[in-house]
């Protein structure tokens, strides 16, 4: 199989091509060439997440390092990065996730313009004003799969074409690892799709 890039140059031939991108992007790339993948890839819906990385001047006086934020109009999750294993406590950095609904509603806005409302929401969750030394918003267009694809990975032995990702089995890094390992096993076994 040859790969043709946007600028028309080609690479290959390759015996096998394995793709590990979000399902909607994989669908755009693969559906015209691999009809067996088109249906399962099209079925996967992925929600966006606007994420805020913020450095505070001082540690907030809350008795927790992370929280699911239930029924908040803007935020779904906040976590203190310095509390994670192996992270430096020199900087008081937090990661803040907007809800899928709020992220969808603001998806096409310049992420920089979303910093003030996200900081306001974070202050509300902390219950105190925020003194931020740095804040950056990032748009994850394909962040959270709504449901699995029905298999841990997909591989067409006739084409030598496979696809994997966290969206096959759920939106966590463990799912990405399981999917990648399953795709590796399928390439050896020559299976079509399995779990």
- Positions touching ligand FAD (CB under 6 A) are 20-22, 25, 49, 51, 97, 140, 143, 165-166, 171-173, 175-176
**Cis ω for the linkage preceding 85 (within 30 of 0):** no
**Tokens at residue 64, please?**
């927790």
Nearest approach in angstroms of CB 9 to ligand FAD is 15
**Cα 39 from Cα 33, distance rounded (Å):** 13
Helix residue ranges per DSSP H, the chain: 23-30, 35-43, 100-105, 115-126, 173-189
Nearest approach in angstroms of CB 28 to ligand FAD is 8
Measured from the CB atom, the residue of 81 and 193 that comes closer to ligand FAD is 81
**Cα 70 from Cα 139, distance rounded (Å):** 21
**Cα 34 from Cα 36, distance rounded (Å):** 5
Measured from the CB atom, the residue of 42 and 58 that comes closer to ligand FAD is 42
Measured from the CB atom, the residue of 101 and 128 that comes closer to ligand FAD is 101
Nearest approach in angstroms of CB 115 to ligand FAD is 15
Measured from the CB atom, the residue of 57 and 172 that comes closer to ligand FAD is 172
DSSP, res 166: G
Nearest approach in angstroms of CB 29 to ligand FAD is 6
Nearest approach in angstroms of CB 97 to ligand FAD is 6
Question: Helix, strand or coil for residue 154?
Answer: strand
Measured from the CB atom, the residue of 65 and 131 that comes closer to ligand FAD is 65
With 0-12 CB in 10 A as exposed, 13-18 as middle and 19+ as buried, what is 70? exposed
């Amino acid at each position: 199989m040859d790969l043709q890039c946007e600028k028309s140059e080609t690479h290959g031939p390759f015996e096998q091509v394995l793709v590990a991108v979000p399902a909607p992007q994989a669908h755009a790339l693969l559906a015209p060439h691999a009809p067996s993948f088109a249906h399962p890839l099209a079925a996967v819906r992925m929600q966006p997440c606007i994420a805020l990385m913020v450095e505070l001047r001082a540690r907030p006086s809350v008795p927790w390092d992370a929280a699911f934020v239930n029924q908040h109009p803007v935020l779904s999750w906040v976590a203190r990065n310095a509390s994670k294993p192996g992270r430096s406590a020199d900087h008081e950095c937090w990661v803040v996730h907007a809800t899928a609904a709020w992220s969808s509603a603001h998806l096409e806005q310049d992420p920089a313009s979303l910093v003030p409302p996200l900081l306001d929401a974070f202050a509300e969750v902390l219950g105190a004003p925020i003194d931020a030394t740095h804040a950056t918003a990032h748009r994850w267009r394909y962040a959270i799969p709504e449901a699995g694809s029905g298999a841990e990975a997909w591989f067409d032995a006739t084409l030598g074409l496979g696809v994997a990702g966290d969206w096959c089995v759920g939106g966590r890094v463990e799912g990405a690892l399981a999917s990648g390992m399953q795709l590796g096993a399928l390439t050896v076994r020559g299976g079509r799709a399995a779990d």
